[in-house]
Amino acid sequence: MAEGGVLVAAGGTGGHLFPAESLAAALKARGVAVGLATDTRAAKHATAFPPEAIHVIPSATAQGRNPLSLARAGSTLAFGLAKAWWTLPSVRPAVVVGFGGYPTVPPLLAAVWRGIPTVIHEQNAVMGRANRMLAPRVRAIATGFPGILNSQPVLAAKATHTGNPVRPAVLAAAGVPYPALDASGPLHLLVFGGSQGARVMADIVPPAVERLEPRLQMRLRVTQQTREEDLERVRAAYAKIQVSADVAPFFTDLPARMAASHLVVSRSGASTVAELSVIGRPGILVPLPHALDQDQRANAGVLMQAGGAIRLDQSEFTPDRLASEIAALAADAGRLPAMAAAAKTIGIPDAAERLADLVLRIGGIGK
């Protein structure tokens, strides 16, 4: 990476890596060099960055209260901090940007201690543990949702609501109008759950569809992303009730499939909520139940309050309840399009550009 560029720090999950890649694309379009600091898990998935621009920094997530596991995580983070400290002088970034998760801690702390300007981006409607630790130390905070720091005036003073950057495929899908819907025509249902949610979708959605009236079953066109180990049973369940279903472990064109859908059933990670709102599609959202910060529940709540989603806690997510919600939505011809329009009102399609503006300003690039 050329001196005076931007180093982004992200790792762990796609929820952190995707917005980092979107920011990198926006910066590169402005002629700014971008590098990536990440852990070994994410390095192999970071295909948007050339290999020479990727810097692997050891990291670990502090989980539970077991003294041995905490000691191991602490020693790994200390090693990562030392490596980040010695890496930064050779990279010479003008600004370092973190996207949450423990892999961002070593590069961000090292940058703070070296006096390099720093920015963190919080994707969720509540701030995660790593970002909470870094927030008092960085120069600026970007948020995916508005008002998440209102109760902390000192942090709120350096916060900017940029929204969550989304992939180019999502921006392309955002131009697709909501599909025409009438009482007798096809009803396109998209179902996905992410790495921690596909099992519950496989367990609940096919039995829910089986409980629907035959007339509604005939209208349904289901697209469901499911795990390899659940593939055959999900396909068999839909075949048994003769419902049209495209079931696969992975869809490379998921944003386009969102745009083609009348209703989405999914988890409520920050990226999913951002994509639903930018594209403008209604959702039945089932937050991941065991998250320490309950971030997915807060994310779903934002879209629900806007009128663009129904939030079902996993304890409520039963075949009977889901069937009831789908039937009610299908029976009210105007409700789904209205929810789609409401979702779109909170979408921020230019979030990557807004974040790029903030990063360049904090880094003093292009003055």
Looking at the fold, whether 355 and 328 belong to one and the same domain comes out as no
- Which residue would you say has higher pLDDT here, 134 or 196? 134
- For residue 58, the model assigns a pLDDT of 81
Q: Give me the CATH number covering residue 139.
A: 3.40.50.2000
Residue 110, domain extent:
6-165+349-363
User: For the residues 41-67, what does the mean pLDDT come to?
Assistant: 74
Burial of 29 (0-12, 13-18, 19+ CB in 10 A): exposed
- For residue 335, the model assigns a pLDDT of 97
Over pLDDT 90: what percentage of the chain? Answer: 78
Side by side, which strands form the sheet with 140-143?
54-56, 34-38, 6-9, 95-98, 118-122, 140-143, 159-161
Looking at the fold, whether 183 and 110 belong to one and the same domain comes out as no
- For residue 65, the model assigns a pLDDT of 67
- For the cut 70, the answer to whether the pLDDT of residue 361 exceeds it is yes
Tell me which residue of 284, 287, 286 sits closest to 328, measured CA to CA. Answer: 284
Side by side, which strands form the sheet with 187-191?
244-248, 220-225, 187-191, 263-266, 283-285, 309-311
Looking at the fold, whether 148 and 33 belong to one and the same domain comes out as yes
- Which residue would you say has higher pLDDT here, 166 or 63? 166
> What is the rounded average pLDDT for all residues in the chain?
92
Indicate whether 86 belongs to any domain: yes
User: For the residues 317-339, what does the mean pLDDT come to?
Assistant: 97
- For residue 271, the model assigns a pLDDT of 93
- For residue 123, the model assigns a pLDDT of 95
Number of structural domains the chain divides into: 2
Looking at the fold, whether 156 and 182 belong to one and the same domain comes out as no
- For the cut 80, the answer to whether the pLDDT of residue 83 exceeds it is yes
Indicate whether 20 belongs to any domain: yes
- For residue 333, the model assigns a pLDDT of 85
- Which residue would you say has higher pLDDT here, 291 or 31? 31
User: For the residues 42-51, what does the mean pLDDT come to?
Assistant: 72
Comparing 42-46, 108-112, 132-136, 280-284, which segment has the lowest mean pLDDT? 42-46
- Which residue would you say has higher pLDDT here, 204 or 65? 204
**Burial call 143-158: b when 16+ CB within 10 Å, e when fewer:** bbbeebbeeeeebeeb
Over pLDDT 70: what percentage of the chain? Answer: 92
Instruction: Provide the terminal-to-terminal Cα distance of the chain, rounded to the nearest Å.
Output: 20
- For residue 71, the model assigns a pLDDT of 66
Indicate whether 1 belongs to any domain: no
How far apart, in whole angstroms, are the C-alpha atoms of residue 27 and residue 88?
20
- Which residue would you say has higher pLDDT here, 293 or 170? 170
The C-alpha angle 25, 92, 157, rounded to 5 degrees, equals 70
- For the cut 70, the answer to whether the pLDDT of residue 61 exceeds it is no
What is the DSSP-derived secondary structure letter of residue 53?
A: G
- For residue 63, the model assigns a pLDDT of 63
Q: Which residue has the tokens 């994509």?
A: 275
User: For the residues 33-62, what does the mean pLDDT come to?
Assistant: 80
The C-alpha angle 42, 190, 235, rounded to 5 degrees, equals 95
How far apart, in whole angstroms, are the C-alpha atoms of residue 266 and residue 191?
6
Q: Which residue has the tokens 């930018």?
A: 278
pTM metric for this prediction: 0.92
Looking at the fold, whether 331 and 357 belong to one and the same domain comes out as no
The C-alpha angle 156, 309, 206, rounded to 5 degrees, equals 135
Looking at the fold, whether 157 and 177 belong to one and the same domain comes out as no
pLDDT grade for 302, boundaries at 50, 70 and 90:
very high
- pLDDT tens digits for 135-145? 999 999 999 99
- For the cut 60, the answer to whether the pLDDT of residue 197 exceeds it is no
Looking at the fold, whether 270 and 223 belong to one and the same domain comes out as yes
- For residue 40, the model assigns a pLDDT of 77
- For residue 247, the model assigns a pLDDT of 96
- Which residue would you say has higher pLDDT here, 69 or 137? 137
**Which tokens hold the place of 274?**
């951002």
Q: How many CB atoms lie within 10 A of CB 177?
A: 9
